[in-house]
Amino acid sequence: MGENILSYTLIVGVKEFILIGLSESQGVQEVYFVMFLCFYTINVAGNLLIIVTVISSQHLNSPMYFFLCHLSFLDICYSSVTAPKMIADFLVKNKTISFVGCIAQLFWVHFFGCTEIFILTVMAYDRYTAICRPLHYTTLMTRRACSCMVVGSWLGGCVHSAVQTFLTARLPFCGPNKVDHYFCDVHPLLRLACTDTYTVSVSVIANSGMITLSSFFILVASYTVILISLRSQTSEGWRKALSTCGSHITVVVLFFGPCTFTYIRPSSDLSEDKIVALFYTIITPMLNPLIYTLRNKEVKSADLLVWRTL
């Protein structure tokens, strides 16, 4: 009888997963509900304001703001894949998600996350070109070139996500179905697969690590060249360059730090991973509009004009 049940489980497989979330304490979950609902609302409102500001302003028509508009759109999409489900789960006992829904969430998380990495890299190249090659800037950063970079970023994110999703979805899930996370991610799902996942785990780390480290290397190289080129500049030149680059550097550190911690090493403690994941899925997207607004006078002025017309 036991063997028949086991065989049936192996054939049918897991049809839904249970997301453990951030805490199993009802009191703590109620506090989290209010807190993360506020975070998500600020995130959507702030990034929408950036998008509306860039589109409606005649002065914010440079490539930097074109990329910023796409970054804000990505931040809304990225957090919307995980935050609404997590917030709703704080109010229910059965935090279930179907197998198809789980795999879909995995795909969209990596799709938007990887695309954001590429967009941040493109923005660093834009700053490098503007500061180090100002005479060639308008020739290199044409509307067509910027559009191609954005399309390439979206396609690169899609390819990365497709690989991650394919490697995970083809694994057999026939036993435990409790995901120790607040969304479906690769490392927690690998723990639940009823087969040896060493090869898949190495492939996932290699895929994510190659993208994260190569993009981070390009970012570091770009800003190293920028700083070297500023040695001959006046203090006014330093101030102007750092005011345009400071926001981007801050966002890069906030986003790449947690991503690097999570995806380029074997996951040993999932409780740590899900806390770190809050930074790149919810907190950093929420802070981006604030960072770009406070450190950029042009965006700040355009935001005030938008508020006055509302």
pTM, full prediction: 0.88
Distance CA 292, CA 278 (A): 20
Q: CB count, 10 Å around CB of 137?
A: 16
- Per DSSP, the residues of 246-283 read HHHHHHHHHHHHHHHHHHSS----HHHHHHHHHIIIII
What pLDDT shows up at residue 225? 84
The residue assigned the tokens 């805490």 is 23
Structural tokens at position 54: 């860039």
CA dist., res. 143 & res. 154, Å (int)? 17
Strand partners, 178: 18
Q: What is the pLDDT of residue 4?
A: 44
- What pLDDT sits at residue 234? 65
pLDDT at position 305 is: 59
Give me the pLDDT at residue 207, please: 85
Specify the pLDDT at position 64.
87
pLDDT of amino acid 226: 81
Q: Which residues of the chain have pLDDT under 70?
A: 1-13, 232-244, 266-270, 294-310
